[in-house]
Structure 1
């Protein structure tokens, strides 16, 4: 699925081909490597997306600009032998979100620079997300304002493409965009997007693009972000119920230009993912589940090292992460609530996986390196794999996965990606 093939997803669906693509939303190098290894195994394309908070002209929380991120991803692809022509790069939630504390004009001045940088760096899948309010505005905006601001961003993207050439970007639009990274509130009021709302979103964007002379760009809008009734929070997952999205899926048959893009599909069952694709949610975004699986593997290895390596337990990975999380609480404190026990559990085990923001930290990297060194050249007994990494035990005993630190981490991530591959 080259970038051009991605653009033809709606046409192929309209012709009866129910296929999809996994959108890997992570900047963790092992997650990206696992995605490429899965793509090699499947013979498929790999779509890697960077969010506006991870990557932007100011560096985001990864410290990378769009051009930096492209080089970072391409270096991993080259190292594992993944064909560059099968790599698709996407920009996720591109809009004012990183600067929404500013007034709208100041925030969009920054967003304009960001979206141009993404297109100039060769990102060909662009999610236009102007759904959130800026300083002094409501948290969620009306459809007309959202569409007008999305069209503004599309105009910037089109200008950037004219400057640099190459493959023209395809766009994703929407006005009912879930919160990046999972829900921040209770999940008892989740509403599936209505067919009428989906149709209204398309028409209001069509008008906004037309008013700016962007009809050709609108023709390259291939996806619509809607709420299919899936979400996750700290400890809960709302699983896909196809019967609740029947009307939405039926509406798609009257809109052959589009497929749906489903956000927050993390932690769905494989059957649920397959049903989403069948029902038109052809772009499945996943991020926290991948680093959640990676953390599970690291903590399992940490427990194994405590068993096998004399003196390791006094400076374990989990203890180092707890100290780091407590000393620098900015990425979790306002999101997690409860007593001290509940907070400790959430810091490490929440589905929201806000611990993922800490893995690039020098302290966390040093702790992972200590773990890796501790188990280097140590034969890990199958019994400890069974005890602490049970999900990987069948692959280890069959010889599919080697019982070493690196391969076990990658296998944990690929076990998630394999479910998406099967669904798609």
Structure 2
């Protein structure tokens, strides 16, 4: 049996090479391509994750099952020339969340089917998240019940991978907003109490033993905690190392564990390096990448309209607005204020709820039409300076080609580079 690449992540800080790993939480092909190209340049593996809402046995909002997602990612890897054996697939927030409106028994039964599908599809990093109450239960469940349900899912994953070449590693703990982001604007966050982190590990170890899968707990490598980072629609709460000092120190009491940090999007390079130095060895990023992609394609949208006025019946931005107004379910609970304020948030919120609409047929067609219109066009440096300023200097220096595809990849890479640099010595 081949050892899971992430199994010894707690020891990375004591050896040459990677100290941590970025977790790319996106199903957009351009984001995944950009991540693979960055990982290839760094000569490291790439970790691609799918959430329970994004990908599940019912298709999620992408329409993909775990098996579909694996094929999707491997197809991109083949096109980019990235070795498939250097792609690590992860499942995020695996639990009853997509079905929490159902009774617990039914929701957990569906969660079992889901984690079995993830495990059988070769996802080797599984985040167990059973903290949410189902129909008739409190919003947040007691730790003991959360751990019991997590161990139940781990048992299913273990059975599904009994003969697998690589056994999965597990992530426990859930002190983060629900999948999809916070529902309200945030001003301050309480850092996880050190004792709570220790107790999470202790309770899960006991639950795994009670479920007969203590061997699986030997492959539990990280706990999800709140280091005090998050973002709202228009603000980012920056990482404060001082506030997280006591939490970071507690890793000495839970050997073999690192912390997984969710919602690290929009943190500064200095903050990302601080997180890594403080033991947050898995840095999850998602909306920050599709936010950068949207910036790039909106810039290309403006460039195309200037170079080829009237060639399209609708711009990409116009299509997004039309579809989001007609189908508001993915943003209406999250965006508040006047009509003008909601319009601003639909397109330019840090929470990037617009990302849920990239798979929509009309949006996908509009994006395809935009890229086709610009195919083969050497975009003038002056227009890149005006609409894609982040790529202006790399284009001038010959590091990015002045074509639409390269500029889109390059814009996402501006974010990715900070993450990969933070994860190396």
| Residue 23 of structure 1: aligned partner | 23
Query: How far 1:15 sits from its partner (Å)?
Result: 6.9
Q: Extract unaligned runs of 5+ from structure 1.
A: none
Structure 1 residues 80 and 378 mapped into 2: Cα distance closer, same or farther (>3 Å)? closer
Normalising by structure 1, report the TM-score: 0.96
**1:41-94 superposed Cα distances (whole Å, 9 cap, x missing partner):** 100100001111111111111111111111110111111111122111111000
Distance in 1, Cα, partners of 2:311 & 2:251: 56
Distance in 2, Cα, partners of 1:410 & 1:338: 34
| Residue 366 of structure 1: aligned partner | 365
For the 8 Å contact 2:53–2:179, the answer to whether it is kept is: no
Alignment map for 1:56-67 (pairs within 5 Å)? 56-67=56-67
Greater CA drift, 14-23 or 110-119: 14-23
| 1:256 paired to 2:260 | no
| Residue 309 of structure 2: aligned partner | 310
Aligned CA RMSD, in angstroms, stands at 1.6
Distance in 2, Cα, partners of 1:421 & 1:175: 24
| Residue 186 of structure 1: aligned partner | 185
SS class of match (1:58): coil
Structure 1 residues 417 and 87 mapped into 2: Cα distance closer, same or farther (>3 Å)? same
Query: How far 1:214 sits from its partner (Å)?
Result: 1.6
Distance in 2, Cα, partners of 1:96 & 1:57: 12
| Residue 104 of structure 1: aligned partner | 104
| Residue 44 of structure 2: aligned partner | 44
Alignment map for 1:48-197 (pairs within 5 Å)? 48-162=48-162, 164-197=163-196
For the 8 Å contact 1:290–1:416, the answer to whether it is kept is: yes
| 1:351 paired to 2:350 | yes
Q: Extract unaligned runs of 5+ from structure 2.
A: none
For the 8 Å contact 1:14–1:256, the answer to whether it is kept is: no
Distance in 2, Cα, partners of 1:362 & 1:307: 25
Report how many aligned residue pairs link the two structures. 422
| 1:240 paired to 2:239 | yes
Distance in 1, Cα, partners of 2:33 & 2:372: 21
Distance in 2, Cα, partners of 1:82 & 1:16: 23
Query: How far 1:375 sits from its partner (Å)?
Result: 2.2
Structure 1 residues 310 and 15 mapped into 2: Cα distance closer, same or farther (>3 Å)? closer
The runs of 4+ residues in structure 1 deviating greater than 4 Å are 14-18
For the 8 Å contact 1:297–1:408, the answer to whether it is kept is: yes
| Residue 412 of structure 1: aligned partner | 411
Distance in 1, Cα, partners of 2:373 & 2:29: 21
For the 8 Å contact 1:181–1:264, the answer to whether it is kept is: no
SS class of match (1:50): strand
For the 8 Å contact 2:25–2:286, the answer to whether it is kept is: yes
Structure 1 residues 77 and 378 mapped into 2: Cα distance closer, same or farther (>3 Å)? closer
Distance in 1, Cα, partners of 2:75 & 2:391: 28
| Residue 266 of structure 2: aligned partner | 267
Query: How far 1:332 sits from its partner (Å)?
Result: 0.9
For the 8 Å contact 2:238–2:271, the answer to whether it is kept is: yes
SS class of match (2:280): coil
Distance in 2, Cα, partners of 1:310 & 1:175: 49
For the 8 Å contact 1:37–1:80, the answer to whether it is kept is: yes
For the 8 Å contact 1:175–1:201, the answer to whether it is kept is: no
SS class of match (1:315): coil
